[in-house]
Amino acid sequence: MIYLGEPVDHLIKEFQDAEAGELEQATMVIFVIGKEDQFHRPKDVKVLIEGTEVLSGLPSVATAFAMLFGH
């Protein structure tokens, strides 16, 4: 993201609880839900493409990023 000159918040979004409106409007995004701080794991990490959840229950943002762009 930094190399391409785009803001990181366009790809990775953090929420305490998923908001339906945000999920439906996402083109390609990694949602981090319920992360308290850097020492606790998030409740859920999801990958959405065009508003459709394609992966969920991922252990970390790094895993989600690898699954999204790794192929």
Inside any domain, residue 32: yes
Q: Which pLDDT does position 32 carry in this prediction?
A: 82
Sheet-wide strand order for 28-33: 12-15, 28-33, 44-49, 52-55
Q: Quickly count helices (H) and strands (E) in the chain.
A: 2, 4
Total domains present in the chain: 1
Q: Which of 66, 21, 26, 19 is nearest to 9 (CA)?
A: 26
By residue range, what is the domain housing residue 42? Answer: 8-69
37-70 residue pLDDT tens: 777 778 888 888 888 889 999 988 889 989 888 8
Inside any domain, residue 49: yes
* Amino acid identity at 50: E
Inside any domain, residue 2: no
Going by pLDDT thresholds of 50, 70 and 90, the confidence category of residue 22 is low
Inside any domain, residue 33: yes
